[in-house]
Structure 1
Amino acid sequence: MMHRFFALILIYQVCFSNTHAQTNELPPISFRDFNIPDSPIIDSASHAIVIIEKGRSDIQVDEGERELQVIHRYGIRIKILDKEGFDKANYVIPLYKIGNKFESASHIRGYTHYIDGKIHTVEMEKGAVFHEKVNEFVNLSKFTLPNITENCIIDIEYEIRSPDIFNYRTWKYQDDIPKLYSEYTAIIPAVYNYNVTLNGFYKLTDQKSRLLKDYFLLNGRRFDCSQLTYIMKDIPAFHEESYMLAPKNYKSAINFELMQYYMTNGGRADLTKEWKDVDRELLSNRSFGGQINRENNFKRILPEIYAEGDSEEDKARKIYSYIKRQIKWNKVYGKYSQFGVKEALEKRNGNIGDINLALISACSAAGIEAYPVLVSTRENGLPKTIHPVISDFNYLVAQVRVHGKSYFLDASEENLPFGLLPLRCINGNGRIIYSKKSSEWIKLENAIKASTHFDIAGKIDDAGQFKGTIRMIYEGLDALNRRNYIRGFSSLDAYIEERMNNSASIKIEEGTIYQLDSLDNNLVESYEISMDFSDNLRGTSFVFNPILINKMTKNPFNLEERNYPVDLGSRQKELYTISVQLPEGYHVERQPKNTALTLPEAAARYTFQSHYGADTLILKQELSLNKAIYEVDEYFHLKEFYSRIIQHQKVDFAFTKK
């Protein structure tokens, strides 16, 4: 689509006037810049502050390459307040691949200003800029400014040339340090119509528009431009909170999306499509629908993957395992195939698109219902749902349907079981693309809770020595995370040894891991353990807290005010079952009360039950978080809920000898 659009535009011989050669320089440095005014946005957590930030973007034609480009000029002035702010002098400019070309950075300049009776300025050397290729889609230009000291000021200026005229340039007002002033100017030719949206909590301080008459030539005629300036002042730093989606979902920023453009004959071309148009383009795209239709790659080998008498679900499971073995993920995301299914199978290597399009194609070859689902990963941000924005999506998973049940599948990871999505994919809604009807939004969630069960059994002797077993049973994302962690060790023995060496008061005698490779079953760790409770003996009294592992001591929700939803990524469950035999002759003097705490609408539940009889303490504790996402107005309840659990777990059992 992009190449067709460029071809249409370039035949009109767009010629911009020389006024576009203006630069976006920062104002001259002055003593006033070193005297930061008192401001509520600056606090003890502020180690640096943006004094001024300015950007300017416009569209030009690169005559040599014969393509349209967005020229983005940027300048920022930062005051370093203390040593913890020195990292702001280590600057990185990310440059992305758009289509088949990379963005480029030029005119990179850096200055360090400091006061010694007068203002001294040290310019960064030209050779200080280093270029790094992260992968085939991202390059970095990196540099460090010289002579950094406390209370110095740094200036950074550069220019980026980008072929991405569809999204123009996103201007990010909010960052991890406060800003006193941020200004962005967009110069947009009258023949282009962009949808401009402001995201985030903070609103613009000022907005200006100016008509630039006869600003450029288009096919022999002069046309106007709109110069749009958006200003925001006194912007607090963005502080990331625990259990939240990507910060880009919440930071204040202004975004541009090309909706339509006008041709010199008066005709209008609309770029904002309906989903049915996007569906058709995707399914006809060689790197998307063209790969799903490569069923011949699999029909010949299907008899080697599953048996003729297998059920439809068994076939789907075996195909899923086959694709995981045959194509190793190269750690590159993508909704499109990078190499193509055939080549990825031959190379045994590919991106997310290669892997999951191969999975869909193989299932289709076996007569199993399978569809691609477009996903925006958690770090990529939530996709827009008002109208199709295909660039919002950076990932692809499959949905298969067998015997009336639907399963999300992602064949990219060795330890991912059938029907479970990794946490990176749990991000709002995905778009499922059908072949014979219109696509639709579908909730991305795992049917199975992330669950850990601690099962402890043992005996305490008269000297206060405990011997017993502990079993940890993992399910869902908890099992995936633990399997990934275990696989990071050179062997199971190395992992168990690490457990033995880092178990604090618990001494592990020996251990066994069960079902590490049986991904559809729970992962189980079992250990023979011993503990010394002799210090808990006081004559005829014995004090004991049976929550021996993973005891909650700190509230994970401790903010006075929460600004963003709590997103756990999955419903969660933690269960303790404990059976401890004490020496004969003890009775209970004090014990935690049996209790049940529940949040409104059963959003979360905590239960604690214990029984002591026949010299044996039996205890069951269960914490269930029944929602993956808790809204801001639920935060106080969640915080109080955890506070009460922590207070309850602090209460020990006290026993007295009869």
Structure 2
Amino acid sequence: MKKTILIILLFNSIIITAQSSFNSEDLKVTKSDLTINTYEKDSTANALVLYEQGNSYFDKKDFILKTEVKHKVKILNREGFDNANVKIYLYNDDNNNKKEKVEDIIATTYNLIDKVVITTRLKKADVFEEKYNDNTTLIKFTLPNIKEGSVIVYSYTLISPFMFKYKDWRFQDDIPKLYSEYRASIPGNWIFHKKLVGGKKLAVSTIEIKKDCLTTYNGGSADCEESVYAMKDIPAFISEDYMTAESNYLARIEYELETIRGMDGRISHYTKTWETVDKEFRTDGDIGRQLKKSVDAEKLLSQDIFNEPDTLKKAKAIFNYLQEDYTWNEKYRIFKDVSVKDLINDKSGNVSSINILLHNLLEESGIDVKPILLSTRNNGFATKLYPVISDFNYLIVQVTINKKTYFLDATDKYLSFGEIPFRCLNEYGRLLDFKEGSKWIDIKPSKKSSIMYNVDIHFDEEQNLVGKVKNRLTGYHALHAKKSYYPSEDGYLNKLENNSPFIEISNHEVTSKGKTSDKFSESYDIEYNIDEINQTLYLNPFIVKFFAENPFKLQERTYPIDFGYKDNYLYSFKLSLGENYSVKEMPKEIRLTLPNDAGNLSFASKMVGNDLHLLFKIDFKAPVYPAEYYPYLKELMSKIVDIQKNSLIVLNKT
């Protein structure tokens, strides 16, 4: 009898049918949800969202924003257990004594054990609260009794007094989802900008107007825009090399408050125009005032710099002075704690302080200079739809000399004039011009970055294989090398030798001019450690490998491949055979080209007299490639790695 009652109770809480697929229509847990333990569309998935829903609305009683959140997740294997750890972040505004809170947390784990469904509920005592930072409280809990094959269902309600901060919804995450839905009810007197991010199409997108959905105590009322947005079969988002911030590509919907029309007729605008923002910047207590701050250029600069008649030389000298005399404290603040005076006194400051001082010294010297606000690669793209000042976290300057423009950033002591840090290569920025008005501009390097190696080897009198290597790096490849070499020459050499264990290096010399040079050039002598087997030598010609492994490993990539800059690679190899060896085998010619000639590689070998010549060239002609290029780039990289690793020259002793 007890067993019969138990089964009846279980049938009331769970639907057990003959389904052969997951239930992605609601929170009900089906037999298939519990018995199917693989996801055919993604064999690498450790967990799978079967169904989730968010529902945001303004409560009619107390006029606060409520969001009901529901999730049903399948745990496919042990690696997916972490999805049973739930974190909820609540915003606090201590200055106004307001804070978000969460109510009605319900969480249940479902397991199928010996054909019996076992449910385990989360206890209230297992919900924990802690301070995350000054403005955020963290609520966290872990679903109980998690096993491989478990299905977890949890729900809660977010309560927010911040009506201007409408709930965003993320359709995509690091595990795949079968169905994700968001419902939003917004009174007509609240006007929001809506932005769909990530480039994925909505499976459901409906909007209806509900009459008199909200009424006030004095008889005022408002209609509501009630929208439903949903996506189906959403792939997991997996990060990989050569990308900017995840936030640029994760499928989601965002809301930005534009205007509130009060029941009493008053109108408050929250989203501003760029014209309004430009006016505010002119009088801003930090950036605006600091940009207009007068500096004593004659006192700060040496007489040689101050009296330099050539404008370009003078700009370069001022830039180098900032690099040498001031140190970036690695803080990105651009709207707070900006002080040119404190920077001059302390010799250290944040991004804005350093580059505003650069701006002001250039301006005092009669040079055309303007500030640029931008968002760094890790910070995500700044929206272009309307001004969102919080999107920006960095400031550089633009100089125009003899009709040519240069981007400058004095925070990095290794940058050459006209070069900005890699972190700033995030496609575009906002040029501030307080006379003509601000505008969007592209942030792209003016030149390609390149790596060029020339290897020339021969057999000496003792039949040792020796030679010389010369290389030249430009652009961001040079910047990386300078940052590796100048702080520690010994460490650089050790790394160089470890990267090529079959050679010995001697007489190393850097021939480029200093750490702010626009290139890095070096040369060194080498001797191969190679064994002769039955009068035959086997030689891999690549003492340097441009790519040690293929960085592209995904089955499919749905976001762009962002290198940040155009670049090319050249490896030239010459082997003088002398009289004692002849070539038995040499690498075959290979050519591969990306669609639309957007990039290519070529590898060729030939004999010229008694010399063997190899030439290996790679050219990436675009800084950013659309996702459609991914399979072609993956194939190209695979071929590059294979050529470097497996190319072989076979020599016979004559």
Tell me the TM-score normalised to structure 2 length: 0.81
Instruction: Please say if residues 506 and 529 of structure 1, whose CA atoms lie closer than 8 Å, have aligned partners that are also in contact.
Output: yes
Q: Counterpart in 1 of 2:545? A: 550
| d(CA) in 2 for partners of 1:548, 1:463 | 22
Contact in 1 for aligned 2:576/2:611 (Cα 8 Å): yes
**Is the 2:126–2:142 Cα contact (8 Å) retained in structure 1?**
no
Q: Distance in 1 between matches of 2:410 and 2:88?
A: 33
Give 2:565's aligned residue. 570
Q: CA deviation at 1:496?
A: 2.6
1:100-179 equivalence runs, <5 A: 106-107=101-102, 111=107, 113-115=109-111, 117=116, 118-123=118-123, 125=125, 128-133=128-133, 147-154=145-152, 168-179=166-177
1:63-96 deviations in Å (ceiling 9; x for gaps):
9xxxx98655544343322111123244555567
Aligned to 1:185: 183
Q: Is residue 473 of structure 2 the alignment partner of residue 470 of structure 1?
A: no
Q: What RMSD over aligned residues (CA atoms) do the two structures have, in Å? A: 4.1
Q: Distance in 2 between matches of 1:307 and 1:99?
A: 50
Q: CA deviation at 1:160?
A: 5.9
- The corresponding residue for 1:10 is none
Q: Is 1:79 aligned to 2:74, yes or no?
A: yes
Partner amino acid, structure 2, of 1:497:
N
Cα 1:247–1:609 shift into 2, 3 Å: same
User: Within 1, Cα distance between the matches of 2:91 and 2:394?
Assistant: 17
Residue 503 of structure 1 aligns to which amino acid in structure 2? S
Identity %: 31
SS of equivalent residue, structure 2 residue 456: strand
Match runs of 1:9-408 below 5 Å: 35=34, 43-58=42-57, 72=67, 74-93=69-88, 106-107=101-102, 111=107, 113-115=109-111, 117=116, 118-123=118-123, 125=125, 128-133=128-133, 147-154=145-152, 168-199=166-197, 200-205=199-204, 207=206, 209=208, 211=210, 213=212, 215-217=214-216, 221-264=220-263, 266=265, 268=267, 271=270, 273-296=272-295, 298=297, 300-303=299-302, 306-309=305-308, 311-408=310-407
Structure 2 letter corresponding to 1:630: Y
Matches of 2:422 and 2:92 in 1, distance apart? 26
For the residue of structure 2 that corresponds to 1:296, the secondary structure is coil
Counterpart of 1:7? none
Please name the residue that 1:532 is paired with.
Answer: 529
CA contact (8 A) 2:396 2:409 kept: yes
Counterpart amino acid of residue 71 in structure 2? I
Cα deviation digits, residues 419-472 of structure 1 (max 9, x gap): 112222212222211122132221111123222222323333588743334344
For residues 263-299 of structure 1, the C-alpha deviation after alignment (integer angstroms, 9 at most, x for no partner) is 4454655555543333222233222222211123656
* Aligned-pair CA distance for 1:256: 1.6
Distance 1:448 1:102 in 2: 53
Q: TM-score, normalised by structure 1?
A: 0.80
Q: In 2, are the aligned partners of 1:299 and 1:366 still within 8 Å (CA)?
A: no
Tell me the SS of whatever aligns to 1:563.
Answer: coil
The 8 Å contact of residues 69 and 164 in structure 1, kept in 2 or not, is answered as: yes
Q: CA deviation at 1:34?
A: 5.0
Residue 502 of structure 2 is matched in structure 1 by 505
Q: What is the SS of the residue equivalent to 2:457?
A: strand
Give the Cα separation in 2 of the matches to 1:138 and 1:514. Answer: 53
Task: Give the partner amino acid of 2:119.
Answer: I
The Cα shift of 1:172 comes to 0.8
Instruction: Please state how far the C-alpha of 1:406 moved relative to its aligned partner.
Output: 1.1
For the residues of structure 2 that align with 1:472 and 1:40, how far apart are their CA atoms? 50
Task: Tell me which amino acid in the other structure corresponds to 1:571.
Answer: K
Deviation at 1:260, TM superposition (A): 2.8
SS at match of 1:306: helix
Q: Distance in 1 between matches of 2:418 and 2:537?
A: 48
Distance 1:426 1:208 in 2: 38
Runs of 5+ consecutive residues of structure 1 not aligned to the other structure: 1-26
Evaluate the alpha carbon distance shift between residue 81 and residue 557 of structure 1 in structure 2; reply closer, same or farther with a 3 A threshold. Answer: closer
Q: Residue type matched to 1:203 in 2? A: L
* Shift of residue 588, structure 1, vs aligned partner: 4.0
1:570 Cα deviation after fit: 0.5
Q: Give a deviation string over 1:362-390, Cα, whole Å, max 9, x none.
A: 22222221111121222333333344444
Distance 2:50 2:598 in 1: 45
Per the alignment, residue 617 of structure 1 pairs with 612
| Cα deviation digits, residues 601-621 of structure 1 (max 9, x gap) | 653244556554564434443
Question: How far, CA to CA, are the matches of 2:138 and 2:436 in structure 1?
Answer: 42
Displacement, 1:129?
Answer: 3.9
Partner of 1:518: 515
Q: Show structure 2 runs of 5+ residues with no match.
A: 1-25
Residue of 597, 618, 621 corresponding to 1:626: 621
> 2: distance between equivalents of 1:509 and 1:124?
68
> What letter corresponds to residue 260 of structure 1 in structure 2?
T
Query: How far apart are the structure 2 equivalents of 1:47 and 1:596?
Result: 39
Give 2:6's aligned residue. Answer: none
